[in-house]
Amino acid sequence: MASESFNNATVGIIANPASGRDIRRLVSAASGFSIAEKANIVRRLCLGMSAIGVDKVCMMPDRSGIAGSVLRSMEQGTLALDEHWPEIELLEIPIQEKAIDTLRAVEKMVDMGVRIIIVLGGDGTHRLVANNCGNIPLIALSTGTNNAFPHFQEATVAGMAAGLVARGAVSVCEATLRNKVLRVEINGHCRDLALVDLCLTDDMWVGSRAMWKPERVKEIFVTYAESDAIGLSAVAGLANPISRDSGQGLHLTLCPPGQGMLTLCAPIAPGLIVPVGISELRILRPHEKIPVSLTTGVVTLDGEREFAFRDGDRINVWLDLDGPLTIDVPRVLHVAAERGIFTWPSPYISSKSLQQGVAE
Amino acid sequence: MKAQLSKEDLLKAYRKMREIREFEDRVHVEFAKGTLPGFVHLYSGEEAVAVGVCEHLNDLDRIASTHRGHGHCIAKGVELEGMMAEIYGKKTGTCGGKGGSMHIADLDKGMMGANGIVGAGPPLIAGAALASKLRKDGSVGVVFFGDGASNQGTNFESMNFAVTLDLPMIFVLENNGYAESTSPKYSAKVGSDNIADRARGFGMPAVTVDGNDFFAVYEAAGEAIERARKGGGPTFIECKTMRYFGHFEGDAQTYRPKDEVKGARANDCPLKRFAAAVTSAGLVEAAELEAIDKSVLDQVEKAVKAAEAAPQPDLDALMADVYVSY
């Protein structure tokens, strides 16, 4: 079922320069994702998209050198390697080197009518994008620390999948799955969302943001819990796995190890496997508002401490099945292959280099 | 590292940050009057970095600073009156009035000196950290340096040395976005924001934190210093921050967006953020912070008056401290 074909498709790229650089490099064995490698991933995405005929990419600007390196790669690759790149537009937004940059970039991409947003980051980056992207499908690529939401995926192939969906060779309906989210409200006002896990800790401050001390975590909510996950959702995944496409989530109340109904050894950060006690575990039904038991503490969203709440604040959490759409890259390539889209000649393979290669 | 900061800790940290802000703002005013000799480079806006790190240190721990060194001195415990007199070039100054702004040092406090040479601090602290390791006294060395200095060979050599010898050393990069007047729009070319990546290339843990958030700096520095004291080796911490004044006093700052500092002062001031966090948590009353503000203003005023009234260095001090006999 091929859908309408689009010749002037624009794809957005959010590459978070800050992902994969937080304190977990120091307190756990987390890897670092260099700026150079992020720029290289964007390069491969662009070449993958260009092969499928995507003419234009808009990209979040940054001060860390990702966008600058990509532009240099484009110049050098075009001149020296006969590479064919799409036009790259850096969005005109103020750069504050904070989460607001991502939020603004996504808003701008939505206004521009991009067909797909490709995200490079960890769970936290994807959460920010999900806040503002509406129904624009995301391709979620992992360059963060705890990556329960995005996957490791070769960027060339991800770029080709983006091109296939952006140009209509594979329809959005065929390509995407709808994700769940956890929503959190404070004193009756919806404050934010989490894609994978939301935790309550007894910290006083947000501090360096990342959460790696299990003794501080008092409650965990998850949208889904995979047994092979890394991060706080791993605790739920080892206690009671919940699939990504099921219509329910999980709520755990924690206690000191050795107490309560269950103690697990869980990988809560790369290389950091710790005992975690669970005193209560219950299934979360959609839209069932759960008040949190702590009166003072910090809310973490997808592994990062986000905001503090104080005595008198009322915090509720609930599961919402209407989260962002994500593109299933393997499925897109599979559908495209079945349709013979990669068989020459193809209306979707428009790169000049490919044409030259066949002609020779 | 302490699990939670006590009220006493919080008030002390706020006082140090306020001392830095008022000291620097006053030097800004006095320099404009033409009463101060030499150059000054001011630290206003970056207070959370110096204090967030130095709150974990004692007098045995050594730090090395930069040309923008007043904040590090104050955070490490150097007396304000001596510092102000030093900047005035007076006999009662921390270094007898012969060092000036860029050479304030107080070895009793573990402050090995501000430094007029960009990138001179890392080798000094590599040496101090080697001494710590040989003495086995549990002390650590911390070097503060900027994004401009991060491109100096001395910094690379020191990272290599620290990793090779597993030194108890912490590299604190104060990334205020401007290498003197080089705007961040050129950063992709000079690579100034990628320095944490370079540190990883040497095999040491490298993290990036919000340098305007005292608690973020405090937490990262605490983990790094504790690790170094236990023999875990060096760590690199990149603190993203902003200076409110020019590279030097008198800098026209034509390389900066017009409202950049105004916006930062309003929305990202380390002191305002600290005050909001501790008062909303109910740990400190706003009136207690206001009392500190007033007390520090008086303290700085007293330091200026004392510096103005102090004598010049004696002529026969001219040749003292020039050469050292071992």
What is the tens place of the pLDDT at every residue in B132-160?
999 999 999 999 999 889 889 999 999 99
> Which residues does residue A242 pair with via DSSP β-bridges, in sequence order?
A225
CATH class name, domain A181-320: mainly beta
Inter-chain CB proximity A32 and B213 less than 8 Å: no
Give residue B187's pLDDT. Answer: 55
Supply the pLDDT for residue A360.
47
Per-residue pLDDT, averaged over B69-93, amounts to 97
Inter-chain contact A26–B235, Cβ cutoff 8 Å? yes
Helix (H, G, I), strand (E, B) or coil at B270: helix
Backbone φ, ψ for residue A275 (5° rounding): -75, 140
Question: Lowest mean pLDDT: which of A1-15, A294-308, B2-16, B217-231?
Answer: A1-15
Give the best residue of B56, B193, B241 to mutate against chain A (max A CB count within 10 A).
B193
| A271 and chain B in contact, CB less than 8 A | no
* CA gap B126, B112 in Å, rounded: 12
Q: Angle, to 10 degrees, between the axis of helix A155-166 and the axis of helix A35-51?
A: 40
> CA-to-CA distance for A24 and A213, rounded, in angstroms?
11
Give how far Cα A182 sits from Cα of A189, A194, A203, A346, Å.
14, 5, 21, 42
CA atoms of A103 and A91, how far apart (whole Å):
12
For the entire predicted model, the pTM comes to: 0.89
What pLDDT tens digit does each residue of chain A (360 aa) get? Answer: 445 666 778 999 999 988 888 888 888 888 878 888 899 999 999 999 999 989 999 999 998 888 988 998 898 888 777 788 999 999 999 888 889 999 999 999 999 999 999 999 988 999 999 999 999 999 999 987 767 899 889 999 999 999 999 999 999 999 999 999 999 999 999 999 999 999 999 998 898 888 888 899 999 999 999 999 888 999 999 999 999 999 999 999 999 999 999 999 999 988 999 999 999 999 999 999 999 989 999 999 999 999 999 988 999 999 999 999 999 999 999 999 999 988 877 777 765 556 555 554
pLDDT at A1: 46
* B165 close contact with A: CB closer than 8 A: no
Flag whether residue B55 sits within 8 Å of chain A, measured between CB atoms.
no
- Which residues of B, range 183-212, sit inside 8 Å of A by Cβ? 184-185, 187-189, 191, 193-194, 196-197, 200, 205-210
Q: How many beta-carbon contacts under 8 Å exist across A and B?
A: 90
Q: Residue A65 and residue B193: Cβ atoms within 8 Å?
A: yes
Contact B56, B237 (CB under 8 A): no
The pLDDT of B15-19, averaged and rounded, is 98
Q: How far is A209 from chain B (nearest CA, A)?
A: 7
Say whether B193 and A69 touch across the interface (CB within 8 A): no
CB–CB of A205 and B224 under 8 A?
no
List chain B residues with CB under 8 Å of A296.
281
Taking CB atoms and an 8 Å limit, are A34 and B200 in contact across chains? yes
- The residue with tokens 């008030």 is B11
pLDDT band at B258 (very low <50, low <70, confident <90, very high): confident
Asked whether residue B188 carries a pLDDT value surpassing 50, the answer given is: no
Query: Considering CB atoms only, which of A32, A95, A204 is closest to B200?
Result: A32
Is residue B189's pLDDT more than 80? no
Cβ contact (<8 Å) for B208 and A68?
Answer: no
CATH of domain B7-271+293-317: 3.40.50.970
Domain ranges (residues) in chain A? 10-179+324-359, 181-320
What residue of B is the nearest CA neighbor of A34? Answer: B197
- pLDDT per residue as tens digits for the range B266-283: 999 999 999 999 999 899
Mean pLDDT of B169-197: 77
Q: What is the predicted pLDDT for the residue at A14?
A: 97
Q: Do A308 and B281 touch (CB under 8 A)?
A: yes
pLDDT at B190 over 70: no
Q: Copy the structure tokens of residue A288.
A: 């069932």
Contact A21 B207 (CB under 8 A): yes
The confidence score (pLDDT) of residue B11 equals 98
Percentage of chain B surpassing pLDDT 90? 83
Closest Cβ opposite residue A26 in set B215, B224, B283? B224
In the 8-state DSSP scheme, what is residue A98? S
B186, pLDDT greater than 70: no
Which of the residues A25, A70, A143, A211 would you substitute to probe the B interface, choosing the one with the greatest number of B C-beta atoms within 10 Å? A25
Query: A304 to chain B: which residues are within 8 Å by CB?
Result: none
